[in-house]
Amino acid sequence: MITGKNYIGSDLSALGKETYTTFDPKQNTATDWQFHEATKDEIETAALKAQEAFLEYKNYSGARKAEFLVAIAEEIEALGNELIEAYTRESGLPEGRAKGERGRTMGQLRAFATLLKEGSWVEATIDTAQPDREPLPKVDLRKMLLPIGPIGVFGSSNFPLAFSTAGGDTASALAAGCPVIVKSHPMHAATGELISSAIVKAAERTGMPEGVFSNLNSSGIEVGKQLVLHPAIKGVGFTGSIKGGTALYKLAAEREEPIPVFAEMGSINPVVALPSALSENGTDWATKYAGSITLGAGQFCTNPGLILGIKSESLDQFIKTLGSEILKLDPSCMLHPNIHSNYEKGKEELSHQGGIDVVADYEADSAPNYGKQKVLTVAGADFMKNPKLHEEVFGPFSVVVRCDDANELTAVINRLEGQLTGTVLGEASEFESFSQTIDALQSRVGRIIFNGVPTGVEVCPSMHHGGPFPASTDSRFTSVGTSSIKRWLRPVSYQNWPQEYLPDALKDDNPLGLMRILDGEHTDSKVG
Amino acid sequence: MITGKNYIGSDLSALGKETYTTFDPKQNTATDWQFHEATKDEIETAALKAQEAFLEYKNYSGARKAEFLVAIAEEIEALGNELIEAYTRESGLPEGRAKGERGRTMGQLRAFATLLKEGSWVEATIDTAQPDREPLPKVDLRKMLLPIGPIGVFGSSNFPLAFSTAGGDTASALAAGCPVIVKSHPMHAATGELISSAIVKAAERTGMPEGVFSNLNSSGIEVGKQLVLHPAIKGVGFTGSIKGGTALYKLAAEREEPIPVFAEMGSINPVVALPSALSENGTDWATKYAGSITLGAGQFCTNPGLILGIKSESLDQFIKTLGSEILKLDPSCMLHPNIHSNYEKGKEELSHQGGIDVVADYEADSAPNYGKQKVLTVAGADFMKNPKLHEEVFGPFSVVVRCDDANELTAVINRLEGQLTGTVLGEASEFESFSQTIDALQSRVGRIIFNGVPTGVEVCPSMHHGGPFPASTDSRFTSVGTSSIKRWLRPVSYQNWPQEYLPDALKDDNPLGLMRILDGEHTDSKVG
């Protein structure tokens, strides 16, 4: 049952008078769930509980935290159809997607549990003493990663499960040993409350300290700001718009004690179609990209919003096929009327820029809030002149840029802001003649793909989901995959520390059996 | 020969009319070297050269960059006595220190060269494809660390070699594959120019691209600000004051493209003397700490500025001995009249706070610019009431805080800002009864030391030199040791990328023989 209340630790709380509802975009009507905006006092209590919980939780073993994460996955599954119904109702996304995303969310939690049980993620590094070293003896030094403190998490609208309440940010922070306070996404507050109830239940069942998790409702920006400014909060995870992420980043930098903000933001994910891709597989790629552009109503941060090619008959043919293929697809419902109207506005604005031609524009009637696909094309010179054309239009939309030659292609890429992904289509044999283009693309992106589509983000150790600004605020960290735990950790060195009081990860006899760096060598051996 | 010019890449340049000199604090007179303040045009040229150099330098093999770093060490050594003379003249530090620091600087460069030649620092991670996976095939994904771009480096006054022109920031950035532009420290501009000449010579000798290094003179803040704001600069390393580091950090966060600033700043390095340390070894520790507090005229970021103990006869005795021992030592010359006068001012201010008693105050005459040691004491309650007493006084100075009991000791530590180091003196058998105190200390620091002094920072893989704000602006990174390279790197994933165009670190046959993570296992095996 949806209560509309905040979770302040394990307490359901509704001190505030202000309420808001979520929206069912398919029915085009508000839901009947009322959510209580979190108050200042509730934020304060959640923050203090998190601070208190951290004192205990940071010292829990990997096995114990793993138990908690697995329990969260189990409790999410136990929510059963109530979760799937709330998800589909609040997002307009289909049931298959809801179940797939739930699987991914549970998979992420379990992947972190596995990481914790294995344990080597703490990067234990040991340099043993050399008491006889000249001119000065060398001390015994041992280093490992420790959690930084309570983390504030802002979920994204487009992944109500995998990038929200119990998504990658929350899972990675809890795995690191950091309590989490979620600022619930107002578009899926019921989904968020259900997930929160699962987390709280899991925390109670596995004996976690109260306050290890809280969930704050809010439809505005004030609650989020107060959360980021609270001295107890030591880091922030955010997935969403460039505007929102940058604002939080700057707010955190202005704190008396600045804290890291990891924001994964916008991207248009350039795709470079080399000549052979168009001449030999143009129809195939056009069909695949029609699918990728419209997947999930184009509401993916890795949506291919920019396709680059060199002027040729085969490029013209590709554009034509892309246009006809994409019009064969049925539009889907977008997440929310606001997202739909922003999409319409963005489409409209870009359609009226200089040099733009319309390739495809789905015009048939459809239900309210459905995102109708559109593809534009423009010459390289016009694209470079106009930064407006670099902006992400969140929805089933893409721009094909026709460049004069490889040099112009490279120049277009060099003008682009940082991107989550970049894709190259073609033959490896063309890499030599396009080495500058490919080098330019690689230096703008966090993930570079050959002969594929950027949508579909594998959760595995080799995934990097992030990129130069504005794809993310800190290109050194990923928000997907187990390496995302690194955002919430800091190294601490122990000098000449007594064996029995060292963390297990650093003890001579390696009781956890970790892979460590011992006097410069990777090994799972004991010391001495 | 000192020209007083800037190095804009390998060109000596003096477009500006404004000049300044450095100062010989022992002679208490300006040197006769005139330095030309870098102009806007010179900054612009240096930045563009760095950007251009990056396109090549980022792709150089580890072996080739290692050759460059070793050549820098050799060219520094080849500067011979001219360097030692400029160093001692501009810093007032003795010849032995100059030679020791030179050795450390060359050692750091060589340590990074060794890291590069071994190669596993790129954290190569490979997840092979699973084309038959259900419901969706798994792509081939491979990830490694790549350099982020040109770095601006601000050296510190107190380490004219090891934390300046060719110090840890420069060495780690060059090792990462990032060109460096140094904003030369105005107190040792001649030392900086000599080191720059060595770097430029080494770059030419080993065939590095022009612009891989530049050195900008400046006595004010304008040049540094322009450097941090230049779009070509992608990261900043700084060692110095909280005020300076925080200003650069905020400036960088306000850029259109925010960039990471790693600033290592102030610290008072609390030392907790447990009862047994005082009752059994009080005299020993007092003597050792008298030495640690006055080492290098107290001009170390790890100087023990705060000693905490529980009220007892043995604490009184310790304080007395510390006072008498420290007065036996001769004061040394400080780096600059400005640093000396700031020290005098800081000492004076803290001496007049409520509840302060003077333990030791060196009053005999000494030469100008010599830092006369002082030790104060205050009760825990007074210390907690007054944040002024938490401020770093840069010089041979310390405050002993007398706490009522373990609880007050813990409370004092919980009020402290982040610190580079924390130290515990005593017996391991006391850890149980002081577990909260020690836990509190560990959570405020980057390095925790048992029965030692915080001064003396070992350069090795297990060293963490950094800490929660304001010890550094990003507690997740160290500025000392080979891990400091991580500040200038970002992961990039290659998806389904053709073997022959993968970086060597990610190729199937592991041509560099790296330790990699292959399908979740640490191994130096080939793929397949």
Averaged pLDDT for residues B131-140: 93
Instruction: Give yes or no for A483 touching B (CB within 8 A).
Output: yes
Q: Do both A184 and A275 map to the same domain?
A: no
Instruction: Give yes or no for A373 touching B (CB within 8 A).
Output: no
Contacts of A4 (CB under 8 A, 6+ apart): A14, A19, A33, A34, A35, A36, A189, A193, A217
Å between B371 CA and nearest CA of chain A: 26
Q: In B, residues 247-286, which contact A (CB 8 Å cutoff)?
A: 249-250, 253-254, 257-260
Q: How far is CA A11 from CA A152, A167, B190, in A?
A: 18, 21, 64
Closest Cα partner for B460 from B476, B488, B483? B483
- pLDDT category, B173, cuts 50, 70, 90? very high
Based on the structure, what is the number of domains in chain A? 2
Counting DSSP H helices and E strands in chain A, the numbers are 14, 23
Q: Do both B379 and B399 map to the same domain?
A: yes
Residue B399 β-bridge partners: B306, B376
Q: Identify whether A179 is preceded by a cis peptide bond (ω within 30 of 0).
A: no
Helices B168-176, B62-78: crossing angle, 10 deg rounding: 150
**Which runs of consecutive H residues, i.e. helices, occur in B301-456?**
313-327, 337-351, 380-385, 406-415, 435-442
Is residue B528 over pLDDT 90? no
Contact of B173 with B180, CB cutoff 8 Å: yes
pLDDT, one tens digit per residue, over B314-366 is 999 999 999 999 999 999 999 999 999 999 999 999 999 999 999 999 999 99
Nearest to B446 among A58, A125, A493 (CB): A493
Q: Do both A192 and A231 map to the same domain?
A: yes
Q: What's the CA gap between B147 and B154, in Å, rounded?
A: 19
Is residue B266 over pLDDT 90? no
Q: Is B301 in the active site?
A: yes
Q: Do both B49 and B167 map to the same domain?
A: yes
Q: What is the CATH number of the domain that holds B280?
A: 3.40.309.10
Q: Do both B275 and B246 map to the same domain?
A: no
Q: Which two tokens stand for residue A306?
A: 């920019």
Planar angle of CA B18, B19, B23, nearest 5 degrees: 150
Q: From the CB of residue A282, how many other CB atoms can be counted at a distance below 10 Å?
A: 25
Residue B253: give the domain boundaries. Answer: 6-21+41-118+128-265+478-487
Is residue B24 over pLDDT 90? yes
CB contacts of A485 in chain B (<8 Å) are none
Helices B80-91, B95-118: crossing angle, 10 deg rounding: 120
Nearest to A127 among B257, B442, B460 (CB): B460
Q: What's the CA gap between B351 and B372, in Å, rounded?
A: 14
Contacts of A56 (CB under 8 A, 6+ apart): A209
Instruction: Give yes or no for A172 touching B (CB within 8 A).
Output: no
- pLDDT category, B226, cuts 50, 70, 90? very high
Q: From the CB of residue B73, how many other CB atoms can be counted at a distance below 10 Å?
A: 23
Q: In B, residues 175-204, which contact A (CB 8 Å cutoff)?
A: none
Å between A224 CA and nearest CA of chain B: 19
Contacts of A139 (CB under 8 A, 6+ apart): A129, A495, A496, B452, B456, B458
Q: Do both A317 and A420 map to the same domain?
A: yes
**Residue B521 included in any domain:** no
Contacts of A150 (CB under 8 A, 6+ apart): A47, A50, A51, A53, A54, A178, A179, A180, A181, A232, A233, A234
Contacts of A474 (CB under 8 A, 6+ apart): A260, A261, A262, A466, B260
pLDDT at B135: 84
Judge: A469–B125 Cβ closer than 8 Å, yes or no: no
Instruction: Give yes or no for A21 touching B (CB within 8 A).
Output: no
What is chain A's pLDDT, residue by residue, as a tens digit (528 residues)? 899 999 999 999 999 999 999 999 999 999 999 999 999 999 999 999 999 999 999 999 999 999 999 999 999 999 999 999 999 999 999 999 999 999 999 999 999 999 999 999 999 999 999 999 988 899 999 999 999 999 999 999 999 999 999 999 999 999 999 999 999 999 999 999 999 999 999 999 999 999 999 999 999 999 999 999 999 999 999 999 999 999 999 999 999 999 999 999 989 999 999 999 999 999 999 999 999 999 999 999 999 999 999 999 999 999 999 999 999 999 999 999 999 999 999 999 999 999 999 999 999 999 999 999 999 999 999 999 999 999 999 999 999 999 999 999 999 999 999 999 999 999 999 999 999 999 999 999 999 999 999 998 998 899 999 999 999 999 999 999 999 999 999 999 999 999 999 999 999 999 999 999 999 898 999 998
DSSP 8-state assignment for residue B494: E
Q: What's the CA gap between A372 and A353, in Å, rounded?
A: 19
pLDDT at A163: 96
Q: What's the CA gap between B89 and B86, in Å, rounded?
A: 5
- pLDDT category, B1, cuts 50, 70, 90? confident
Dihedrals phi, psi of A309, to nearest 5 degrees: -145, 170
**Residue B498 included in any domain:** no
**Residue B33 included in any domain:** no
- pLDDT category, B142, cuts 50, 70, 90? very high
Is residue B94 over pLDDT 90? yes
3-state secondary structure of A522: strand
**Which runs of consecutive H residues, i.e. helices, occur in B255-374?**
275-294, 313-327, 337-351
Contact of B178 with B149, CB cutoff 8 Å: yes
**Pair type for strands B521-523 and B516-518:** antiparallel
Nearest chain B residue to A460 by CA distance is B127
Q: Do both A260 and A274 map to the same domain?
A: no
Dihedrals phi, psi of B312, to nearest 5 degrees: -175, 170
Q: Do both B257 and B291 map to the same domain?
A: no
**Residue A524 included in any domain:** no
Tally of CA atoms within 13 A in the half-sphere of A384 that contains its CB: 16
Averaged pLDDT for residues B234-248: 97
Instruction: Give yes or no for A451 touching B (CB within 8 A).
Output: yes
Q: Do both A316 and A332 map to the same domain?
A: yes
Average pLDDT, chain B: 97
pLDDT at A79: 98
Q: Do both B280 and B230 map to the same domain?
A: no
Averaged pLDDT for residues B186-211: 98
**Residue A140 included in any domain:** yes
Q: Do both A251 and A330 map to the same domain?
A: no
**Residue B187 included in any domain:** yes
Q: What's the CA gap between A327 and A331, in Å, rounded?
A: 9
3-state secondary structure B222-260: HHHHHHHHCCCCCEEEEECCHHHHHHHHHHHHCCCCCCC
Averaged pLDDT for residues B184-199: 98
Q: Is A264 in the active site?
A: yes
Judge: B260–A469 Cβ closer than 8 Å, yes or no: no
Q: How far is CA A89 from CA A3, A34, A73, A223, A292, in A?
A: 16, 15, 22, 25, 24
Q: Do both B284 and B424 map to the same domain?
A: yes
H or E, element range at A523? strand A521-523
Instruction: Give yes or no for B439 touching A (CB within 8 A).
Output: yes
**Residue B501 included in any domain:** no
Q: What is the CATH number of the domain that holds B252?
A: 3.40.605.10
Judge: B253–A250 Cβ closer than 8 Å, yes or no: yes
Nearest chain A residue to B449 by CA distance is A495
H or E, element range at A105? helix A95-118
Q: What's the CA gap between B15 and A151, in Å, rounded?
A: 49
**Residue A506 included in any domain:** no
